[in-house]
Structure 1
Amino acid sequence: MKKTIRIASLALAVAAAALGCTAQADQVTDKLKATLQARLGSDAPIKSVTKAPVAGLYEVNLGTQIIYSDASGDYVLLGDLVDTKTHKNMTEARLADLNRIDFASLPFANAIKVVKGNGARKIAVFSDPNCPYCKRLETTLQSVDNVTVYTFLYPVLTPDSTVKSKAIWCAADRAKSWESWMIDHHAPTNAANCDTTALDKNLELGRGMNVTGTPTIFFADGRRLPGAVSADQLNQALASTK
């Protein structure tokens, strides 16, 4: 019985110590966050501060960017942290993980849906109709099969982007109008006389998800891939989606 009591007491002591370490760590990161926020100002809102893989270094999450700080907040490092053993960009991987989304919760009714092949694989793309990289991605998608593409019109480049987005959204066949413009360069000629509040919602959604450029691709597991990637890169990313 005494042995049982001693084991139970030891377990409680270990748990208490762990809680104490966690509380202490929280105090350090909370203080560092407050210090850095005061020094960096409101233009750089800090989402979180955690320990970095390097001793004495802290990861500061700004949402669209990760920077690193010492424990006192006196110095910050701007740039990528790279694992020299694997050549993995730790900063890029961490930022992708922090910005992972719940794909299933996306408002697909506000997107243009195109099904290729059996459509088993799924991606969502935030795209501006006047973005040359978005047009390049659309050309690439022509050679990618068995995928469902949800395109969220995201007119952020020019006022004309909004004009074209509204016309495409109001077309009788949105998918055909979108591809006709992006692939064949035939501008939509129909009147934008329908309800286009979906575009406003897309802008709000994208900003909330830190979509800062077009195209931005999201996969079914919540990962994102910015830019006009090649068909090989896209297929590899789709194949690795869990």
Structure 2
Amino acid sequence: MIKTTLVLALFSLVSTFTMANVETVKKNLSQQHPKLKIENIQPTEMQGIYSGSMQGQIVYLNQDAQHLIAGSMLRIQDQHNLSRDLLVQQNSIDWKKLPLQDALKSVRGTGKRQIAIFSDPYCPYCKQLEVELKKLKDVTIYTFILPLKPQSILPSKQLYCENHPVQAWEDLIFNGITPKSKKSCANPVERNIQLAQALGIHGTPAIIFSNGFKVMGAYPAGQIEQIFKEFAL
């Protein structure tokens, strides 16, 4: 009983000490560099070094918050990329909870690799991403139409009234051809907007890989392929 109590006391002491160090880093950072926004600060396997996220990138800093390193931290013993783990952890959602039935589905080749995108038809970066997606092979793309611009709402809803919504989407995003149908029909647009808010997606385009890893922006096809390879998807 005494041994168990001592172990619990030691664990509590270590946890308190670790938290105190994190709070020290946060305090030093806010006092010395108030304009520098670094979130998710936590201790790493390397003594005296703390990780954080800044503008979607993993960074490292010491306790006095006087030095900052951007790059990957590898564990030498097994060459494991600890930075990648943090990046996935801090930018992930549960793929299984995505309502894929509300997305437009496009299959290329075997379709064995899967991604979901959130896209606004009048977002220039979304159009740029669509051009890059055309270069991918053996992939299934789920497109959640997310009309963030006021002019995007009506055509986003109307395309679901077309006989071929996927083609109507491509006509709209690539060529600005609005759907011909003027009738109203059931569509998931409002649900997509609510879903994006729940996932913390406030801009377009957004890409979610089948392991839940989320990135923002019009990633080139080569970078998307690299992420597929990196995570063996």
> Does TM-score exceed 0.5, indicating one fold?
yes
> Number of matched residues?
221
Q: 2:127 pairs with 135, 158, 179, which one?
A: 135
Give 1:217 deviation, angstroms: 0.6
1:212–1:24 distance in 2 versus 1, CA, 3 Å: same
Distance 1:235 1:60, change over 3 A: closer
- Correspondent of 2:15 among 15, 22, 38: 22
Q: Which amino acid aligns with 1:204?
A: Q
Q: 1:84 to 1:115 in 2, by over 3 A?
A: closer
The answer as to whether partners of 1:65 and 1:95 remain within 8 angstroms in 2 is: yes
Aligned residue identity for 2:218: A
1:160 maps to what in 2? 151
- Which among 118, 130, 145 is matched to residue 137 of structure 2? 145
| TM-score normalised by the chain length of structure 1 | 0.70
Alignment match, 2:190: 200
Q: Take 1:225 and 1:192, find their aligned partners in 2: how far apart are those partners?
A: 35
Aligned partner of 1:172 among 163, 177, 181: 163
Confirm or deny: 8 A CA contact 1:47 1:63 kept in the other structure.
Answer: no
Q: Which moved more, 1:163-172 or 1:103-112?
A: 163-172
The residue matched to 1:212 in structure 2 has which SS?
coil
- Structure 2 CA distance for aligned equivalents of residues 233 and 151 of structure 1: 19
SS at match of 1:233: helix
Following TM superposition, by how much is the alpha carbon of 1:172 offset from its aligned partner in structure 2, in angstroms? Answer: 2.3
Sort the Cα spacing of 1:141 and 1:189 in 2 relative to 1 into closer, same or farther, 3 A. Answer: same
Provide the secondary structure at the position in 2 that maps to 1:183. Answer: helix
One-letter code of the match for 2:12? Answer: L
Structure 2 distance, partners of 1:62, 1:172, is 44
Give the distance between the partners of 2:69 and 2:197, measured in 1 at CA.
24
Tell me how far apart the structure 2 counterparts of residues 192 and 119 of structure 1 sit (CA, whole Å).
Answer: 33
Once the two structures are superposed, residues 151-185 of structure 1 have per-residue CA deviations (whole angstroms, 9 ceiling, x without a partner) of: 001111x2111112111233222111111222344
1:61-94 per-position Cα deviation (integer Å, ceiling 9, x unaligned): 79979899998xxx989x9844599xxxx98974
| 1:138–1:192 distance in 2 versus 1, CA, 3 Å | farther
Check whether the contact 2:51–2:58 (CA below 8 A) recurs between aligned residues.
yes
1:43 corresponding residue in structure 2: none
- Taking the aligned partners of 2:59 and 2:199, their CA distance within structure 1 comes to 19
For structure 2, the residue ranges without an aligned partner over 5 or more in a row are: 32-37, 75-81
Distance 1:179 1:137 in 2: 12
Cα separation, 1, equivalents of 2:14 and 2:204? 43
Cα 1:202/1:68, change in 2 over 3 Å: farther
Asked if residue 236 in structure 1 is aligned to residue 226 in structure 2, the reply is yes
Between the aligned partners of 1:68 and 1:134, the Cα distance in structure 2 is 32
Is this contact kept in 2: 1:220–1:241, CA < 8 A? no
Aligned 1:62-73 pairs, distance under 5 A: none
Task: Point out the structure with max Rg over C-alpha.
Answer: 1
Of 114, 125, 133, the match for 1:122 = 114
Does the 8 A contact of 1:99 with 1:209 survive in 2?
no
Distance 1:142 1:176, change over 3 A: same
2:77 alignment counterpart:
none
The CA distance in 1 between the partners of 2:44 and 2:69, in whole Å, is 12
